[in-house]
Amino acid sequence: MTPNSQPDSQKSADELAQVREYQESVLNYESLDEQIDDLLQSAGGRTEDLSDEAYVRYRELAALRDLAYNRMMQLGSGLLDES
């Protein structure tokens, strides 16, 4: 074994942890997306029809969803790079 290599069991555990983190990021993204959908449905599907408070919440959720999407893509890319 070279100094920088990991035993196979440790590498497998690391990969499993990365897959789980990716799965959690997908669930987080989907949850935020569903919350946005519910909010929009309550206003007939149009942001223009949201109350001021609901619109602020919509923008907050959208920003969080964007961050979640970026994280999900970053983790997914990391998984593909290691295969």
Has residue 2 been placed in a domain? no
**pLDDT over threshold 90, residue 32:** yes
Residue 3: predicted pLDDT: 52
Task: Identify the helix (H) or strand (E) that includes residue 15.
Answer: helix 8-41
Averaged pLDDT, 39-45: 95
Has residue 4 been placed in a domain? no
Query: Where in the sequence is the domain holding 68, given as residue range(s)?
Result: 13-82
Has residue 6 been placed in a domain? no
Has residue 5 been placed in a domain? no
Residue 12: predicted pLDDT: 85
Has residue 7 been placed in a domain? no
CA gap 15, 48 in Å, rounded: 44
Has residue 24 been placed in a domain? yes
**pTM for the whole thing?**
0.80
Has residue 30 been placed in a domain? yes
Mean predicted lDDT score pLDDT of the chain: 91
**pLDDT over threshold 50, residue 40:** yes
Distance between start and end Cα atoms, the chain: 20
Q: Which among 77, 73, 79 has a CA at the least distance from the CA of 20?
A: 79
Total domains in the chain come to: 1
